């Protein structure tokens, strides 16, 4: 059963333990020196997956010597920052690379299913690396003229190689609001589920921010579109990087002004008001039961639910 007493309030993927040291990205000489640093560390990624040690939870971190022995297998490295004196880089394999060159070190697997076995610092570092590499992979060509782009600022900028264009792209995240909606009676919260979600899972309402829209306006619109419930005066709670592929989840709490369901889209397959006392009967993701389930404990959705249960949200 769900238990607020064992819930960690530090959101997974937050608190990257690396000084981003943005001033060191600026010149080729700086980057070349960092790459050759004897303590340099490299996090390899392929097809959005990280390299994990066989039969262990830890991610594989390549040394400088190991990286340079396989350098041709990778796209340009991205400088993540410094941990102490050690420079950290994220590197992505070319599509043409052999999948077996790291077979003696481990296997490539998605991050999120493995995150429960990682410590918080490693999880946040891998998420940072993943987000940067996916951004770079999606901007190999200019969005204006279609020409190839080149990596600059040690992977934190890509510039169009067409001299008549020269457009620069920078890492971006997609802002999305995610909201715990409290019933007018103060004892129920609003949960729903999408058909494509894991069996039995219910969560709070979320949606992407549209151009020309404030975060608060997004909360009000998304809740109304997906459920028909009207809310007002959303209160910001916390945010969570969510690099699957490139979102930033902005958590809110809001009081419902209405309780009837009248959705204007077909986003949710089911919507319900759930009493605080009934949440204790919900199961956990992956527990093997057929019970209705809450979002996993690594998500801001679950944090919002648990904070509401504990009376820690200002609504």
Decide if pLDDT at 101 tops 90. no
d(CA 177, CA 236) in angstroms, rounded, equals 10
Q: Which of 189, 177, 178 is nearest to 259 (CA)?
A: 189
**pLDDT at residue 91 in the model:** 95
4 has pLDDT over 60: no
Phi-psi region of 13 (alpha: psi -120 to 50; beta: other; left: phi over 0): left
Residues of the chain with pLDDT > 90, as a percent, come to: 78
DSSP 232: E
Reported as a single tens digit per residue, the pLDDT across 124-173 is 999 999 999 999 999 999 999 999 999 999 999 999 999 999 999 999 99
Looking at every residue in the chain, the average pLDDT score rounds to 92
Whole-number Å distance between alpha carbons of 151 and 130: 17
Indicate the SS3 state at residue 102: coil
Other beta carbons within 10 angstroms of residue 85's beta carbon come to: 9
Q: Which helix (H) or strand (E) holds 141?
A: none
Q: Look at residue 1 in the predicted model and tell me its pLDDT.
A: 38
What's the whole-number mean pLDDT along residues 181-203?
A: 96
Which pTM value belongs to this model? Answer: 0.91
For the stretch 233-264, pLDDT in tens is 999 999 999 998 899 999 999 999 999 999 99
Residues 18, 207, 285, 58: what is their CA dihedral angle, to the nearest 10 degrees?
-20
Best CA proximity match to 223, nearest among 214, 213, 235, 232: 232
For residues 51-67, give the mean pLDDT: 89
Rounded CA separation 35/88 (Å) = 9
How many alpha carbons lie under 13 Å from residue 223 in its C-beta half-sphere?
A: 33
Alpha helix (H) residue ranges in the chain: 28-35, 64-69, 120-137, 215-227, 276-279, 300-309
Q: In the chain, pLDDT over 70 holds for what percent of residues?
A: 97
The per-residue pLDDT for range 193-225, each reduced to its tens digit, is: 999 999 999 999 999 999 999 999 999 999 999
């Amino acid at each position: 059963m769900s238990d607020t007493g064992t819930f960690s309030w530090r959101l997974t993927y937050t608190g990257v333990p690396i000084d981003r040291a943005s001033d060191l990205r600026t010149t080729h000489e700086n980057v070349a020196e960092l790459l050759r640093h004897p303590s340099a560390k490299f996090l390899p990624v392929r097809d959005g997956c990280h390299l994990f040690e066989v039969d262990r939870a830890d991610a594989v971190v390549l040394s400088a010597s190991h990286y340079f022995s396989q350098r041709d297998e990778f796209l340009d490295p991205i400088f993540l920052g410094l941990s102490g004196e050690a420079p950290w880089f994220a590197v992505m394999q070319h599509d043409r690379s052999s999948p077996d060159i790291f077979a003696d070190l481990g296997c490539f697997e998605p991050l999120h299913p493995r995150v429960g076995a990682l410590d918080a610092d490693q999880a946040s570092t891998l998420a940072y690396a993943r987000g940067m590499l996916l951004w770079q992979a999606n901007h190999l060509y200019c969005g204006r003229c279609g020409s190839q782009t080149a990596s600059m600022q040690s992977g934190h900028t890509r510039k169009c190689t067409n001299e008549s264009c020269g457009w620069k792209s920078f890492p971006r995240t997609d802002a999305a609001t995610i909201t715990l909606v409290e019933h007018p009676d103060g004892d129920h919260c609003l949960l729903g589920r999408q058909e494509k979600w894991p069996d039995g899972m219910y969560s709070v309402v979320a949606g992407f921010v549209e151009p020309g829209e404030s975060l608060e306006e997004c909360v009000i619109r998304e809740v109304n579109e997906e459920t028909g419930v009207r809310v007002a005066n959303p209160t910001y709670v916390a945010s969570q990087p969510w690099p699957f592929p490139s979102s930033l989840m902005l958590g809110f709490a809001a009081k419902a002004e209405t309780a009837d369901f009248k959705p204007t889209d077909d986003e949710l397959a089911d919507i319900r008001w759930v009493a605080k006392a009934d949440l204790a009967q919900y199961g956990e993701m992956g527990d093997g039961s057929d019970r209705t389930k809450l979002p996993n404990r690594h998500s801001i959705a679950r944090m919002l639910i648990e904070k509401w249960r504990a009376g820690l949200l200002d609504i």
